[in-house]
Amino acid sequence: MADRLSRISRENRYDVYTLFEWPSSLPADRYWISPELMTCYGTELWDELDEPCRVELSHREAVNFFSVNVHLIRELIGGVAERIYTTRYPGLSEFFHDFIAEENVHAWFFATFCQRYGGGVYPARRVELGRPPVEDVLRDVVVFGRILIAEELSDYFNATMANDERLPEICQQINRVHHEDESRHIAFGRQMMRELRDEATRQVGADRIAETGGYLARYSDFCLQSLYSRQAYAQAGLERPGDVRSRLLSHPRRAELHRAAVGRTVGFLNRIGLVDAESVPW
C-alpha cells in the first residue's frame, strides 16, 4: 500500500509556491470558515451575536483552525522523521519521505494564510510533560494514532469547506487541496493502526493497550478543545474570553459537532480494539 501511495503522491505533486493566488486582502464581510463549523454555532452565543460579529469571529476561528493545523503538522513531521530510517519500518522510508514532503507543504500554506491575513500563527500554548510508553509498539500506537486523529478531524473541516462558496476562493482552495492530499495519509494511517494493533496484541498485555487507548481517547478531546481559542474570542471582541470558552465547551449542542468531527475516527479505533468509544468525553 505504501508503495502505491508514494507513487500517487509523486504523480500528483504540485508546486505549492505557484499553486495559490494570494489576494492582497480578504473581504471583511464574508465568512472565512463555514458558520456551521464555528465553535458558537448552535448555542445561545450564536443567537446573541449580530452578523458582523459572527463574521469577524469566523476570521479569527479560521486563523485558529489553520494555526492548530500548523502545530499538529509540526508534531507529526517530528514523529515520522524519527522513524524514517528505523529497523522497525525498513519498507516505509520512501513513503515517509513523501509524507513529510506533503506535510511540509501543508504547513506552509496554512501558515502563509495566518501570516497574510491573521497577523501570524497563533502560538501553541503547550508544555511537553511525561514520557512516552516504554514499549516500541505502544510508542508507535501513540504517534500514529495521534496523526490519524488529527488528520481525520482536520479533514472533516476541509471536506466541508472545500466547496463552500460563502468563503473566499483562497479559503476554499486551501481546504480543497488539503482534503485531496489527506485522503492518502488517512488510508495509510488506518492500515498502520490495524497492523500496530496486531503487533501490540502479540507483544503487550491488554491492560497496557487499554491504557494507551485511553490516552488516544483523551487526545481526541484535546484536539477538539484546541478549536476553542481564547485568543480568537478576544480578538473578535468578545468579553471574558475564558468564560466564553468554558461555556461553549460544556454546551450540550456542541457534542453533536464533536461527534460529527471525530466520531468516525473514534469508531474506527473502537472497532479495531484500541479505544473505548465510551471513554471519549464528548
Partner 1 sequence: MADWPPEFDALLRRHCRLVGTDAPIRPDALLVTLGMDSLEVVEFIVAIEDAFDLVIPQEMLTPEVFGTPSSVWRTVADLRAGVAR
One of 14, 203, 225, 281 touching partner 1 (CB under 8 A): 225
Closest to partner 1 by CB, 152 or 221: 221
Question: Which string of DSSP letters, residue by residue, matches 62-103?
Answer: HHHHHHHHHHHHHHHHHHHHHHTT-TT-TT-HHHHHHHHHHH
Alpha-carbon distance 213 to 269, whole Å? 8
Position 242 contacts partner 1 (CB under 8 A): yes
For residue 160, which amino acid is it?
Answer: T
Closest to partner 1 by CB, 90 or 130: 130
Closest to partner 1 by CB, 95 or 144: 144
| 192: its cell numbers | 498502520
**At closest approach, how far in Å is the CB of 119 from partner 1?**
15
CB within 8 Å of 39: residues ≥ 6 apart: 61, 227, 228, 248, 254
One of 67, 226, 235, 270 touching partner 1 (CB under 8 A): 226
**At closest approach, how far in Å is the CB of 209 from partner 1?**
18
Judged by phi (left if over 0) then psi (alpha if -120 to 50, else beta), residue 236 lies in alpha
**At closest approach, how far in Å is the CB of 245 from partner 1?**
7
Closest to partner 1 by CB, 40 or 223: 223
Ranges within 121-150 binding partner 1 (CB under 8 A): 123, 125-131
Task: Give the chain's radius of gyration (CA, Å).
Answer: 19
Stretch that binds partner 1, among 26-34, 88-96, 215-223, 267-275 (CB under 8 A): 215-223
**At closest approach, how far in Å is the CB of 124 from partner 1?**
9
Is 225 in contact with 246 (CB distance < 8 Å)?
no
Nearest Cα neighbor of 213 from 131, 140, 132, 276 is 276
Q: Footprint of partner 1 on this chain (CB under 8 A)?
A: 123, 125-131, 215, 218-219, 221-222, 225-226, 230, 242-243, 245-246
